[in-house]
């Protein structure tokens, strides 16, 4: 009888631990999907509230621009460009992921900070001003509003 009770207790603890792990993984996946949906949102009142993603091979510069706050435009020049965008608060993640070659993304908030792992792989425009491309393998942080 004592051995059966121990086996049942071990099984119960294993099942509980398994449920906690599955729940954590599901929550993480849901938050990651939600963050990517939130990343495409923009406070631009003239649009539906989503950032405009330009298909590969097209440039966002062909569209008329309406300046609303601070903007960072980024265009990926290689197969994959990992970026991280935050703002306006210090803990507000707007986007964390990768762009593909030719894809452009616009981020507009009262304050935007973007970190790029390799500054040579992207073209970046901050508040309408083209930023110089960094060296290969150099991590770079772009800020809007840019320091004057």
Domains of the chain by residue range:
40-144
pTM of the model: 0.51
pLDDT of residue 134: 86
| Residue 130, Ramachandran bin (φ over 0: left; ψ between -120 and 50: alpha; else beta) | beta
Predicted confidence (pLDDT) per residue in 58-103, tens digit: 444 444 444 457 899 999 999 999 999 988 776 788 899 999 999 9
> Shortest CA distance to 108 belongs to which of 134, 91, 90, 128?
128
Contact 46, 87 (CB under 8 A): no
**According to the model, what pLDDT value does residue 130 have?**
93
The Cα-based distances of 79 to 3, 74, 83, 141 in angstroms read 58, 14, 13, 21
- Let me know: does 109 contact 39? Beta carbons within 8 Å: no
Inter-residue contact 88 to 69 (CB < 8 Å)? no
Residues 68 and 108 sit within 8 Å (Cβ to Cβ): yes
**Predicted local confidence at residue 148, as pLDDT:** 42
pLDDT at residue 80 in the model: 92
Q: Could you read off the pLDDT of 119-140 as tens digits, one per residue?
A: 899 999 999 999 998 888 888 8
């Amino acid at each position: 009888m004592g051995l059966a009770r121990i086996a049942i207790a071990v099984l119960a603890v294993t099942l509980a631990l398994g449920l906690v792990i599955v729940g954590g993984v599901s929550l993480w996946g849901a938050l990651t999907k939600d963050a990517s949906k939130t990343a495409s949102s923009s406070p631009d009142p003239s649009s539906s509230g989503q950032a405009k993603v330009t298909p590969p091979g097209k440039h966002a510069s062909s569209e008329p621009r309406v300046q609303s706050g601070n903007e960072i435009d980024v265009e990926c020049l290689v197969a994959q460009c990992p970026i991280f965008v935050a703002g306006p608060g210090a803990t507000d993640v707007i986007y964390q992921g990768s762009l593909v070659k030719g894809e452009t993304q616009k981020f507009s908030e009262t304050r935007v900070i973007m970190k790029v792992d390799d500054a040579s792989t992207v073209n970046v425009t901050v508040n309408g001003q083209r930023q110089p491309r960094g060296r290969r393998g150099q991590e770079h942080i772009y800020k809007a509003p840019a320091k004057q």
